[in-house]
A and B are shown apart, each in its own frame.
Chain A
Amino acid sequence: MFITFFYKLKEVGVPVSPTAFLTLQKALDRGLVSTLDDFYTTARAVLVKSERYFDLYDQVFAFCFEGVALPDSSGFEVDEVARAMLDEWLKNPKQLANALGIDPAKLADLSPDELIDYFKQRLKDQEGRHEGGNKWIGTGGTSPVGHSGYHPGGMRVGGESRNKSAVKVANERRYKDYSARGPLTQAMVGEALKRLRNMVPTGPRDEINIHDTIYKTMKNAGEIELVFDRSMRDRLKIILAIDNGGWSMDPYISVVQTLFDYARAQFKEVKTVFFHNTIYDHVWEDPQRYRKPLRVDDFTRRDPETRFIVLGDASMAPYELMAADGSIHVSGRSGKPSIERLRFIAETFAHCVWLNPVQESMWGYTHSIMAISSVFPMFELSLDGLEKAVSRLMIR
């Protein structure tokens, strides 16, 4: 039974090691575990080494010891996405009815649970016949909503009050927010970004190098010789381009704002610019996007070593990206399709990434995401994604 438990953990992606498993056996042998509750805490402390996996652990625990159904492999998050989307669409039932292909009267008869089941069924079907990528609900310019944890207003999963039984505790999924795919906290963002720092010695030699001083002093037979060094400063320049238009980015604005606040203190120069959906000829320095336009063509005059980071859900109607006059703002029409402008930016700055708050598993369903990810290296705006993006930006 414990072996199944162990392998199930491994299977769902909790990094568990055989050594840890043996340690757990040791704990069992010594009689340190007498109840299921003891086992829950002991096994978690011994096997799971990051709170990011506590949620998965809880789910597997509930599955193995109480037979709670494990969400199917198409994604532990599918419920969340479904609920989040449903939430959005409930604001506009007609659109939902159209998307699901049932008539609004029938829709009104379904209970929320039935609706979710129906919706999930549809989601699965879609996965089955994904070829072509344009059959899915939401292709016509509707952005996929949803990323776990950003929709606290959604229905609560396992909504029982706190109880001391381990299985109940596991079912509560207390650690959902900590999971690797969960929402980013400010501290996480800041720390991930710190890795972007590029320290180089600059300025006057005003820092004493103790190690070298001692060494030189020894060499001089005890006559003290002081060795000075330049201090380390950060010289990295960053351009952060933030998509701040449209409701589809709304849930991420606070995260994005944090990213920007943290980044400012950390680099030689951080420029934040704004755009809506995609970039045409201009980006704006002011969040309202009308006072201070910056010409994209002028990017060539900047340091090519600048790291260019885009934050956006990359979700829009295909024509916004592909058509020569695709901009939804009249002033933005220059005759060049946006995708070409993006390509231009990617060529200008060798180090660029696109951070996307839309969950990676959903990217295949949206045409514009696929198109943009062929131009920019794209990463999910999650802790994992951010880390990957940062290491990508640091490649020389």
Chain B
Amino acid sequence: MTHNSPSNVRFSGATKYVLDSELAGIVNVSMALEMPLLLKGEPGTGKTMLAYAIAESLDMPLIVLNVKSSMKLIEALYQYDTLTRLNDSRFGDSMREVSNIDDYIKMGKIGQAFTAPHRTVLLIDEIDKADTDFQDDMLDVLDQMQFDIIETDQTIKAVNRPVIIITSNAKKDLSDPFLGRCNFHHIAFPDPKMMRKIIDIHFPDIDKTLAENAINAFFTMRELDGVEKKPATRELINWIRALNADPDFKSRDLIKGELPFLGVLFKKSPDYDRARSLTPRRRLF
């Protein structure tokens, strides 16, 4: 696809993503205002998937920066590979030119998004894992759409402003200046009606009663008291996949309260035990 100018692209959903109109509006406003969009919400509400969906529907390359807790901003921008250079200088058997520092500069994810020839979607995933310094430093970079490479005294400017999606699991509060420069949306957990649409998209030929029963069972399981990690959309999809793959399984069993493959829904052993103890034991004969 050719170069997209910011004003004429509009996002309206993708093949595997059910988009509510509210969110579509917010994505489009953020793209038009060229502001990063910060998404919060429970795990499994489709924050990360949204970036994939935008990239797919607008036909832009997606660059994902997975934020880690110990990450320094510089890693996201570029890396000066001192170790390789040291090795090259000691053993001298590479194709690189030791005296040319540029040969040892590698672009990080933000750097790649800035230098890409086409407009890209830049997903900064789980920003809340990083410390506040990271967030604040990143702001300036995203605001000015440029950064400096100290070693070579170069300034890297964004060729095209990427569409920036930032996700946060609300582990930590983000700083005010950071929030100030983003648009914000909180994705609520899908209600059963929405969930049905999501399931339909993922399993176009699914048996209707199976879908219905599985979704009902799923929402009942989410309501269990004292469950630490509630099953999310991703778990439901995997669960349905597992149910479909089991030739012995009949969807009527779900109504009887027989729930196989609980381990797909509950990933923590106390949760699993809890869920298991509340469903009737499977008969041995």
Residues of A within 8 A of B (CB): 15, 17, 19-20, 23, 26-27, 30, 32, 38, 41-42, 44-46, 48-51, 54, 162, 164, 174-175, 178, 186-188, 191, 194, 214, 217, 222, 254, 257-258, 261
Contacts and interface: CB of A to CB of B under 8 A. Distances in A.
B153 interface: no
A381 B30 CA distance: 36
Interface of B: 7, 21-22, 25-26, 28-30, 32-33, 35, 37-38, 40, 82-83, 86, 89-90, 169-173, 176, 179-180, 182-186, 188, 191, 225-226, 228
A45 B86 contact: no
B183 A46 contact: yes
B228 A186 contact: yes
Given A27-B29, A188-B170, A222-B90, 19 more contacts: A23-B35, A30-B33, A32-B29, A32-B32, A42-B25, A42-B29, A45-B26, A45-B30, A46-B33, A46-B183, A49-B182, A50-B173, A50-B184, A54-B186, A164-B21, A178-B186, A187-B169, A254-B225, A258-B226
Contacts of A254: 225-226
A261 B226 CA distance: 10
A299 B172 CA distance: 34
Nearest to B128: A191
B184 A23 contact: no
A26 B6 CA distance: 15
A362 B22 CA distance: 37
A332 B184 CA distance: 54
B275 to A, nearest CB: 16
Nearest to B30: A45
B229 to A, nearest CB: 9
A229 B173 CA distance: 30
A178 B189 CA distance: 12
Given A49-B182, A50-B179, A257-B226, A41 B26 contact: yes
A20 B180 contact: yes
Given A49-B184, A178-B186, A32 B170 contact: no
A191 B186 contact: no
A49 B37 CA distance: 11
Nearest to A51: B186
Contact of A41 (B25, B40, B169, B176): B25
B171 A191 contact: yes
Given A32-B32, A187-B170, A45 B82 contact: no
A38 B25 contact: yes
Contact of B180 (A19, A54, A164): A19
Contact of B29 (A17, A45, A54, A186): A45
A214 B82 contact: yes
B32 A17 contact: no
* Nearest 8 Cβ contacts at the A-B interface: A51-B186, A49-B179, A45-B183, A45-B26, A49-B184, A41-B25, A41-B22, A42-B29
18 contacts: A17-B180, A26-B33, A41-B22, A41-B26, A41-B29, A44-B184, A45-B29, A45-B37, A46-B183, A50-B179, A51-B186, A175-B186, A186-B228, A187-B171, A191-B171, A194-B171, A222-B89, A257-B226
A214 B22 CA distance: 50
A199 to B, nearest CB: 13
Contacts of B32: 27, 30, 32
B166 to A, nearest CB: 12
B29 A46 contact: yes
A394 to B, nearest CB: 15
Contact of A45 (B169, B170, B184, B191): B184
Contacts of B186: 51, 54, 175, 178
B228 A51 contact: no
Given A38-B25, A178-B186, A261 B228 contact: yes
Interface centre among B37, B179, B182, B191 (most CB of A within 10 A): B179
A150 to B, nearest CB: 14
B175 to A, nearest CB: 11
A167 to B, nearest CB: 14
A82 to B, nearest CB: 27
B98 to A, nearest CB: 12
Contacts of B169: 187
Nearest to B270: A261
A223 B18 CA distance: 57
B173 to A, nearest CB: 8
Nearest to A224: B86
A90 to B, nearest CB: 24
Contacts of A48: 184
A352 to B, nearest CB: 25
Nearest to B24: A41
A15 B179 CA distance: 11
Nearest to A383: B173
B262 to A, nearest CB: 20
B188 A174 contact: yes
A208 to B, nearest CB: 13
Contacts of A15: 176
Nearest to A23: B33
Nearest to A194: B171
A222 B85 CA distance: 11
A50 B185 CA distance: 8
Contacts of A45: 26, 29-30, 37, 183-185
Nearest to B191: A162
A88 to B, nearest CB: 21
A52 to B, nearest CB: 9
B119 to A, nearest CB: 19
Nearest to B227: A186
B29 A51 contact: no
